[in-house]
Amino acid sequence: MGSSTYDFSEETVIVTGGSSGIGRAVARRFGESGATVIVADIDETPKDPDDSVPTHEAIRDAGGRATFVETDVSDPTALESVVEGAREFGGVDVMVNNAGIFRGGPLLDLDVETFDRVYATNARSVFVGCQAAAADMIDRGVEGRIVNTASISSEYAQPNHIAYDPSKAAVMMLTRVAALELTHHDIRVNAVAPGGVTTQIGAEDDGSRVPEEERISKDNPMGRRASPDELAGSYLYLASDDASFVTGHMLYVDGGHAIY
C-alpha cells in the first residue's frame, strides 16, 4: 500500500495552526508535494515535545519552500494580512483554516469569555479566513480551494463541550454556505472532519481531557485515535483536481466514529 502523491508545485498554501498536530502534518505533506507553504500560527514552536523543529524549518530541511507568519486567528484582521503577504509568493491558491482550541466545561459553569475565545478561534476565524482568501482569489482570477477543519463534534454533541461543539457546528455550516456562494467564482470549499487525533489540543485545559481520551478510544470502532499523518492526505485530496466536483462536503476521517 502506498499513499497518493499530488503536485502542488505551482501553488501557495496557507495553513493556520500549522505549527503543531494536524496542521503540521498537513503543512508538511503540502511541502512534500511541492507547494510553497505559509504556516500561520500563534506560536512557532511545535506543542509535541517529540517535534523539535518548527514546521517551516522541517519543510525547508526536506528541500521544500516554507515560511512562518506569527498570526492570532482570533484577531479579525490578522488573516487578511497573511493573505496579503502571500502575494509575495504569487498569492494564495489553497487556504487551510485549521487552527483551533479546546476548552471544556459544562453549560452551568462556563464563563462567557471562554465561550467567546473558543468561538473566535475556531469559528469566526473560518469566516474571516474564507472571506479574505476568497476575495483575493477572485481578484487574481484563480481557481481557489479552501479546506476547513471541522470535527465529528460538528454534528455530535458531548457533555462539557458547550463551547467547542457549537464552534465546530458553525465550521460545518460556514463551509456549506461559503461553498454555495463561491461556486460561480470557481472556488471550492470543503471541510475535513477528524475524530480523535493524537495531538496536544486541550492539553492546557482542565481535567476533562483524560476521560474524553478514554471515551474516544472506547467508542471508536477502530479502538484508537488517528495520528495527524492519517489526516493529512484528505486535505491534499480536497485541494486537488481529483476533487474537482466536490464542494460543500464534510469528509469524515474518524475511524468510523460518526456512524457508530
- Regarding 74 and contact with ligand NAD (CB under 6 A), the answer is yes
Rounded Cα distance, 69 and 20, in Å? 14
Q: Is 235 one of the catalytic residues?
A: no
**257 contact partners, CB below 8 Å, separation of at least 6:** 152, 195, 196, 216, 219, 220, 221
Neighbours of 120 (CB within 10 A): 18
Pick from 11, 15, 23, 89: which binds ligand NAD (CB under 6 A)? 23
- Regarding 17 and contact with ligand NAD (CB under 6 A), the answer is yes
Rounded Cα distance, 15 and 93, in Å? 11
Positive or negative, the CA dihedral 224, 227, 228, 233 is negative
Binding mask 144-173 for ligand NAD (x = CB under 6 A): -----x-x----------------------
Q: Closest CB to ligand NAD among 21 and 142?
A: 21
Question: From the candidates 119, 156, 164, 237, which is the catalytic residue?
Answer: 164
Q: Closest CB to ligand NAD among 122 and 190?
A: 122
Q: Closest CB to ligand NAD among 142 and 192?
A: 192
Nearest to 138 by CA among 91, 85, 82, 78: 91
- Regarding 101 and contact with ligand NAD (CB under 6 A), the answer is yes
- Regarding 21 and contact with ligand NAD (CB under 6 A), the answer is yes
Write out the DSSP string of 88-126.
GGT--SEEEE-------B-TTT--HHHHHHHHIIIIIHH
Pick from 12, 20, 33, 240: which binds ligand NAD (CB under 6 A)? 20
Under 8 Å between Cβ of 118 and 167: yes
- For residue 117, what is its C-alpha cell? 475565545
Under 8 Å between Cβ of 42 and 18: no
Rounded Cα distance, 129 and 171, in Å? 11
Neighbours of 175 (CB within 10 A): 28
Binding mask 206-245 for ligand NAD (x = CB under 6 A): ----------------------------------------
Q: Closest CB to ligand NAD among 142 and 150?
A: 150
Pick from 33, 36, 190, 199: which binds ligand NAD (CB under 6 A)? 199
Rounded Cα distance, 103 and 118, in Å? 7
Q: Tell which positions 31-70 bind ligand NAD, by CB under 6 A.
A: 41-43, 47
Q: Closest CB to ligand NAD among 71 and 208?
A: 71
- For residue 159, what is its C-alpha cell? 457533555
Candidate segments 11-19, 58-66, 180-188, 239-247, binder of ligand NAD by CB under 6 A = 11-19
- Regarding 121 and contact with ligand NAD (CB under 6 A), the answer is yes
- Regarding 177 and contact with ligand NAD (CB under 6 A), the answer is no
- Enumerate the active-site residues: 164
Binding site for ligand NAD (CB under 6 A): 16-17, 19-23, 41-43, 47, 71-74, 98-101, 121-122, 149, 151, 194, 196-197, 199-201
